[in-house]
Amino acid sequence: MAVAAVVAVVAVVVTNGVSTVIKENTPVEGGAGVLMASCNASIGPWTGGGEERGRGDADRLTDEQLTTVANIISIGRKRELPPLAWQVAIQAGMTESGLRSLDHGDRDSLGIFQMRPSMGWGTPQQVMDPEYAINKFYDVLLKVPDWEQQRPGDSAQDVERSAFPDRYHKWEAMAAFLIGQEGDVSDPAGCGEAAGDYLLASSAAATAIDFTKQQLGEPYLWGGNGPDAWDCSGILVKAFAAAGIKIPRVANDQYVAGGAHLPVREAKAGDLIFWATNPALPVTVHHVAMYLGNDEYIHAPQTGDVVKISKINWDYHELMPLAVRPGV
């Protein structure tokens, strides 16, 4: 059923070679933009390529790994924990041990979650026992502040304290698929066919967001156009191409001619945000990212880093004053 969304209807004024917007709120019909208040978008992705990727990763799991998944879900269910907790544990276990109860690891790390007896996780015999390890993981997770408001990979990092905090995101799609399939939970996010608990920037935004999230953990490469390495603007060209929208290849061209402009603080999920050495001169734009809502954006940062989600600093002096909405 369509619901009334509020979008920006714009009149364009050109200053400094960049079209800015004067907007008025006009109600329009369109069900893709607004989600139920109960939607928990941190469980996911559930649609499009995310589900396909998750299914592919899950299909490669062994019986031993699937048994671990079943134990994680069973114990989580007995403890009346929400599916998001199961997902956090699956992502952590897959990252740390490949969902196997290993009898070895870095220093004295052992078991599914590579818990270290020397750090107070339990005796070697305890952390090697799947039931103990899973319950211990949940015990620590429940003490993480606001874990239910975070992406599951971030919560996994809060429990594990890894030197490589972004690596848990790699298994997000697989874990989401598994709690649906093995946990027999239909759409536990409550998000239906949409992509977050916020207003999407456009009908193409969900597709572009889904494509970009599939690249989480892939390395940065200057000039990278995929499929396994990206630079900041190249990944967005491909993301919007997946939604049937063509945008310029270079970041500063994307700022000038990538779509409609709006004040950056009014950006919505799927809008592009930019940084420049001199925000008064679009030619100095040097970085672009896709805004996700909730003060987060996804981007390919720089050499030596990977595609990841970061928190925005709205007061940073290089942040450009306008965001861009492709396809509008």
Q: Are residues 243 and 169 in the same domain?
A: no
Q: Is residue 14 part of a domain?
A: no
pLDDT of 104 = 93
Does 29 map to a domain?
A: no
Is 316 found in the same domain as 215?
yes
Q: At residue 229, does pLDDT exceed 90?
A: yes
**Band of residue 151 on the pLDDT scale cut at 50, 70, 90:** confident
- Report the candidate in 30, 53, 31, 82 with the shortest Cα–Cα distance to residue 192: 31
Of 154, 181, 208, the last residue of a domain is 181
How far apart CA 174 and CA 158 sit, in angstroms, is: 20
What total number of domains does the chain contain? 2
Domain identity same for 201 and 135: no
Contacts 24+ apart (CB under 8 A), 77-84: 77/183, 79/135, 79/138, 81/138, 81/142, 82/148, 82/188, 83/43, 83/179, 83/183, 83/185, 83/188, 84/40, 84/42, 84/43, 84/148, 84/152, 84/188
- Does 201 lie in the same domain as 152? no
Q: Residue 43 falls within a domain, yes or no? A: no
The token pair that represents 96 in the structure block: 């740390």
Considering 181, 202, 217, which residue would you say is the last residue of a domain?
A: 181
Domain presence at residue 152: yes
Same domain, 135 and 163: yes
- State if pTM tops 0.85: no
* Comparison of pLDDT for 134 and 4, the residue scoring more: 134
Q: Are residues 205 and 162 in the same domain?
A: no
Same domain, 155 and 267: no
The reply to whether 131 and 203 lie within a common domain is no
What is the per-residue pLDDT across 60-85, written as a single tens digit (0 to 9) for each? 999 999 999 999 999 999 999 988 89
Q: What is the CATH number of the domain that holds 263?
A: 3.90.1720.10
Do 234 and 289 sit in the same domain of this protein? yes
Q: Which domain holds residue 168?
A: 48-181
Q: Write down the pLDDT at residue 32.
A: 30
Residue 37 pLDDT class (50, 70, 90 cuts): very low
Same domain, 198 and 165: no
> Does residue 138 belong to any structural domain of this protein?
yes
